[in-house]
Amino acid sequence: MDGSKLKCNEVLLLKLLLDEMYAGVKEYFETLGWDVLTVQDAGLQGAKDKDIVEYAKNNNLLIVTQDQKLADLADLTGVKYVLISNAMIAKIADAKIRETYPDMKQK
């Protein structure tokens, strides 16, 4: 079998690269068991999006971002990414509000 392909029982280990806006949640991801690097840790604070994507690609990192352009560049170059949208954040907050305060009504 080709050594570059994963066997059924092998696990692909991913390391996360948190974009600048998520540097403050690094410890939370680590607590959840992720191996995490921030853009700041990598010396890329203020770097161009294409440089961040190139770094992620060269180091097999999954980018976590709220930046649509960064996500688009990652998508175009085949870099793994997760785009956290404002709509996603609102849905999570809405679900938590409804769970915590089930008797409250919307207008």
For residue range 5-63, what is the model confidence (pLDDT) as tens digits?
A: 445 555 568 899 999 999 999 999 999 999 999 999 999 999 999 999 999 999 999 99
The pLDDT-based confidence of 1 (bands split at 50, 70, 90) is very low
Considering the entire predicted model, what is its pTM? 0.81
pLDDT at 6 (0 to 100) = 45
With CA atoms as reference, report the closest residue to 76 among 95, 49, 39: 49
pLDDT number for residue 59 = 96
- Domain spans of the chain? 15-100
> What per-residue string of b and e applies to 87-104 under the rule 16 or more CB within 10 Å gives b?
eeeeeeeeeeeeeeeeee
Kindly report the CATH number that applies to the domain delimited by 15-100: 3.40.50
